[in-house]
Amino acid sequence: MSLFAFKMSLVLLLVLPNLLSCAISMASQLDHQADMLLDGRMTSGNLTELTSLDLSYGKWNGSIPDTLGMLVNLKKLDLWGNGFSGLIPSSLGNLTRLDYMDLSSNSLSGHVPHEIGMIHNLLTGPIPQELGNCFELSDLDLSRNNLSGTIPVTLAKLQELYNLNLSYNSLSGGTSFSVNTRVSLDHNMDTCGDPHYGLTPCHMAELDKTIKEEKTNKHIMALVLSFAFFCFICLVVLGCLTIVYRRKKISKVIDENKSQGMVSIWNFDGKIAFEDILDATECFDEKYCIGVGGYGSVFRAELQGGSIYAIKLLHSTEDYTDEKAFHAEIQVLTKVRHRCIVKLYGYCSHSKCKFLVYDLIERGSLASNLQEEQLANELDWTKRIAIVGSSSLLLAP
């Protein structure tokens, strides 16, 4: 039988196994010629003595059969340049005598099985530590994949490893290899190792990593401080705008009062001014209100000197008769001086604002003291008679 006829019979055994009635049990090598194009799905037989299987650059498609793991004596497996897809069968881990395997230029996907590792497809995940158990492995090419994680230290145990190509992945870390191993780790993330292979020493890589982390931390700190400073500036600007707004508001009220004939009476030392009252009450803000009556609301005003006054803001009215009566009563009150009457320091009469400036009586009026039991007990009959006597002198003609 010629060599060509022998090879064609083996091809028929792989493609059409059901048409053959015998099996080859002692085949030692099956080489596939570069000009030999095969089409269809790959099958396998019980070629237990086969040591070399080369089906590269054919048109095989589908998935790699699990039964390839039965070829326990196989030393060479070359499926390069085909259309194989799907997962890598874990049964290939049974090929313990394998020293060369090429599955590159296919469409394999998924994770690398723990039993074996492959090349140049779309493989993801870490390189399995179990590859370090392939002691006879001489060539390992896992380049141009999406492998990640650290390079397994178990690869350093492969003393027979001659070529190791892990370039164009997302690997990190480093390890030491045999001096006879040619290593390629180009285009990875943070790999390091022996400078003999053109790699950065690991201690330098760690130093570079530390420097990068410090720079990153400094950048983060700078951003945080910049943001904090920006917030502080915003608060300062907001505070300044608030102060300016309040002053403009007070100035506007003062200008309106001056233009409309505001009348005020100062206290005996001349220190109470209209502007001070508006500033102390923040233009009569509700938080300073201490009482509400039928004629108006009472506000507590503490001036810069520490003096405290009661400002009675009268309800607005447009009745001209009430306006004249108000002025007449004010003229009388400013002339009254008696210890039983709360002292009136001044007033403001304006079409938009009318208020009286009194001494603030912290303990309240006689009526409020008599309504509370504790305060009423402190106000004994001797004090009550004295109050009645003083009031009668005030009412006497």
Give φ, ψ of 83 to 5 degrees.
Answer: -115, 30
Quickly state the pLDDT bin for 227 (edges 50, 70, 90): very high
pLDDT over 60 at 234, yes or no: yes
The one-letter amino acid at 48: T
Secondary structure of residue 342 in the 3-state scheme: coil
pLDDT tens figures, 241-266? 888 887 776 666 555 544 444 444 44
- Inform me whether the pLDDT recorded for 28 exceeds 80: no
274-281 vs 202-259: helix crossing angle, rounded to 10: 140
Strand partners, 60: 40
Rounded to the nearest integer, the mean pLDDT of the chain is 72
- 333 to 125, 265, 344, 353, 359: CA distances (angstroms): 94, 12, 7, 19, 13
From the list 83, 94, 95, 89, the residue with the least C-alpha distance to 52 is 95
pLDDT at 48: 77
pLDDT of residue 360: 80
- Coil, strand or helix: which one is 385? helix
Write the class of the CATH domain 37-202: alpha beta
| Range 307-331 average pLDDT | 73
pLDDT mean over 52-65 = 88
- Of 28-37, 164-173, 187-196, 280-289, minimum mean pLDDT range: 28-37
The residue among 10 and 333 whose pLDDT is bigger is 333
Find all residues with CB under 8 Å of 18, minimum gap 6, and list them.
Answer: none
Residues 85-99 have a mean pLDDT of 82
Q: Is domain 270-362 given the CATH code 3.10.20.440 in the classification?
A: no
- Cα 36 to Cα 38: distance, rounded to the nearest angstrom: 7
Q: Which sequence spans correspond to the domains of the chain?
A: 37-202, 204-260, 270-362
Residue 233: pLDDT above 90? yes
CA distances 252 to 139, 188, 247, 357, Å, are: 90, 71, 8, 21
Q: State yes or no: 383 annotated in a binding site.
A: no
